[in-house]
Structure 1
Amino acid sequence: MSHTTTPAAPSFGIMTAPMQVTYEDILAVWREADTVPEIEHAWLFDHLMPIGGDPDGPIHEGWTLLSALAAQTRRLRLGLLVTSNRFRPPAVLAKIATTVDVVSGGRLDFGIGVGSRPHPPEARREYPAHGLPFQDTADAVRSLAEACTVIRRLWTEDEPFDFHGTQHHLTGAFANPKPVQRPHPPILIGGRSAATLRVAAEHADLWNIPGGDIEDVVRRSALLDRYCAEIGRDPAAVTRSIHLPVDYDRPAATRAAIDEALDAGFGHIVLGLPAPYPAGVARWVADELVSAHRPR
């Protein structure tokens, strides 16, 4: 079992995958969620081609859509679960994320991960289709660690700097403006591999893992504890976040999954909403899924 303790008041959010839906579909859900206090955060994902449903169906670019939704909401914290570090150079990504933090008035949670694995195959095809290289896993993990370092420095340092890593080289790197949030937006790292967990131990304020196999989730959380301890970091400094799929027809099953996650020390719950979205889905989430787990 993880050393971390469940926060007294867990936080609940929603995730709307921006594929096989219209902008208006997602905007309606986010606008409603923004008025529902029980829902504290909202998320998109970062793919360039659908990974489910019609492979040629519509999908929207995550950061562009996030900026639009940031301008259309007032309260929700928001982010991508998670940005593919393979898609954008880290200094460009830092600039994009800063812009969203500014547009949102300081509500960005910066989610990032290694990027798509070769599975599912639907995710692998994004790279050649967009002329993007697909690094091997070891290089991709090193790239993530360097990206986190570069992005944090761009957000916090007041003088230009050079950076020469194994994967990234910057000369005269500098960013103005800085994010609204100081010292910088919270960094959420998503993933389950041991190599990614080592990066999370060093860089993450939050760590997210997909739910489904709670025993594996608990093992991965304990491994993160160990990696934090090895570098002298308090494991409790990394908030544990989990993505749980919602079944509109079986809310009791989703509530049971939430109970398991909370018992395992995961106090940051992201509820994945399948499309099409029922009318009033945010209020339904609050009433059917969240209310049972909130302090009275």
Structure 2
Amino acid sequence: MTIRMGYQIPNFSYPGGPAQIFPTVIAQARAAEAAGFDTVLLMDHFYQLPGIGKPDEPMLECYTALGALATATERVQLSALVTGNTYRNPAILAKTVTTLDVVSGGRAVLGIGAGWYALEHNAFGLEFGTFTDRFDRLAEALDIIASMLHGEHSTHDGARYRTDDAFNEPRVRDNLPIMLGGGGEKKTFGLAARYADHLNIICDPADLPRKLDALAARCDEAGRDRATLETSFLTFVIVDEDEQNARRLQREIVLNSGTDLDTLSEEQRAQATARHFVGTPDQVAEQLRTRVLDVGVDGVLLNLVGNGHQPGTIELAGAAVSAALAG
């Protein structure tokens, strides 16, 4: 597995109403495939997230949608960025992602994290617990899931989960990759060093050098060669052939989440837009290269919250990422 160039679809508020949502998702996935992206990813949430929109904005169930995308694409890997571990029994999740792998002809990636969105848990009657509780559950879940994805039988008697000789058939391979997502330098990175093929690092770009140092330390502690754990960084790309149009769209996106950039101090504005990569394709490529790739991260995952559904935008973003990766 290699994820160097991923396209995430986090927003389903499109013109035309509910009937046009999935045709628009399919069009984006196919455009990403044609533009050279190696992976298409969906969020695993039930409500839209703060910072992107309001909770009652459209949100598709992740694995149902990924299964449908498997039949609409040919080459791209398919993944959640990332599955909330608290939303599903881990053995059933192993079965779900393996079925996606079968349906897609070996293109599934299990992206997984501890879960964090309290509103969804409360609304759907799911146990949320403390930060420590959620990571204890994730550690147990990974023990079960990794065994089942690798063709082994799982027997686990833990504080949170139990399996008794659970197995997983059919499978098209015994090395379905696991991607962890998060920024926790001890818990998340420690679990990634033990279980993951890929780590998607969540942080501000300025923090990446420290995060990579912490990841190297966790790999040393686990007796793992750091070079065997691939990394990526999730970026919010706002790209247009006209820089001023891109800057205008950035203001609209931030305003939709409740913040007016024009009312902020320079320091506040920098903090609110730290994960934004904005401008023409050439400008975005330079930002990705200097702020992410030159630091030592292997790949870029991006979303186009404001205009990814508009024809031609994914192609511009793909050109930017390809140029950044080419150096």
Query: Shorter-chain-normalised TM-score: which range?
Result: 0.7 to 0.9
Unmatched runs of 5 consecutive residues or more in structure 1: 1-8, 117-122
- What is the identity, as a one-letter code, of the residue corresponding to 1:225? A
CA distance in 2, matches of 1:10, 1:47: 22
Are residues 1:138 and 2:129 paired?
Answer: no
CA distance in 1, matches of 2:109, 2:216: 22
SS of match in other structure, 1:86: helix
Map of 1:59 onto structure 2: 59
- Greater share of helix residues, 1 or 2? 2
Is the contact between residue 41 and residue 76 of structure 1 (CA under 8 Å) also seen in structure 2? Answer: yes
CA distance in 1, matches of 2:127, 2:237: 34
Map of 1:221 onto structure 2: 212
Map of 1:127 onto structure 2: 121
Is the contact between residue 152 and residue 184 of structure 1 (CA under 8 Å) also seen in structure 2? Answer: no
Distance 1:154 1:236, change over 3 A: same
CA distance in 2, matches of 1:155, 1:292: 35
Is the contact between residue 241 and residue 270 of structure 1 (CA under 8 Å) also seen in structure 2? Answer: yes
Is the contact between residue 18 and residue 44 of structure 1 (CA under 8 Å) also seen in structure 2? Answer: no
Map of 2:254 onto structure 1: none
Map of 1:34 onto structure 2: 33
SS of match in other structure, 1:150: helix
Q: Which has the higher contact order (CA 8 A, sep 6+)?
A: 1
Distance 1:67 1:243, change over 3 A: same
- TM-fit CA distance, 1:29: 0.6
CA distance in 2, matches of 1:136, 1:271: 30
Is the contact between residue 20 and residue 275 of structure 1 (CA under 8 Å) also seen in structure 2? Answer: no
Is the contact between residue 18 and residue 26 of structure 1 (CA under 8 Å) also seen in structure 2? Answer: no
Unmatched runs of 5 consecutive residues or more in structure 2: 15-20, 240-245, 247-278
CA distance in 1, matches of 2:113, 2:77: 19
Map of 2:292 onto structure 1: 261
Map of 2:93 onto structure 1: 93
Superposition pairs of residues 190-201 of structure 1, within 5 angstroms: 190-193=181-184, 194-201=186-193
- TM-fit CA distance, 1:257: 3.3
Distance 1:77 1:157, change over 3 A: closer
Alignment deviations for residues 218-247 of structure 1 (CA, whole Å, 9 cap, x no partner) = 211211110110121101111011101101
Q: Given the two structures, how large is their TM-score scaled by the length of structure 1? A: 0.87
Distance 1:143 1:257, change over 3 A: farther
Alignment deviations for residues 136-183 of structure 1 (CA, whole Å, 9 cap, x no partner) = 11121111111111012112345x5421122211123121112x23x3
Map of 1:4 onto structure 2: none
Superposition pairs of residues 112-123 of structure 1, within 5 angstroms: 112-116=112-116, 123=117
Q: Given the two structures, how large is their TM-score scaled by the length of structure 2? A: 0.79
Map of 2:44 onto structure 1: 46
CA distance in 2, matches of 1:166, 1:45: 28
Distance 1:58 1:256, change over 3 A: same
- TM-fit CA distance, 1:10: 8.2
- Larger gyration radius, structure 1 or structure 2: 2
Superposition pairs of residues 134-213 of structure 1, within 5 angstroms: 134-157=128-151, 160-178=153-171, 180-181=172-173, 183-193=174-184, 194-211=186-203, 213=204
Distance 1:81 1:164, change over 3 A: same
CA distance in 2, matches of 1:139, 1:66: 29
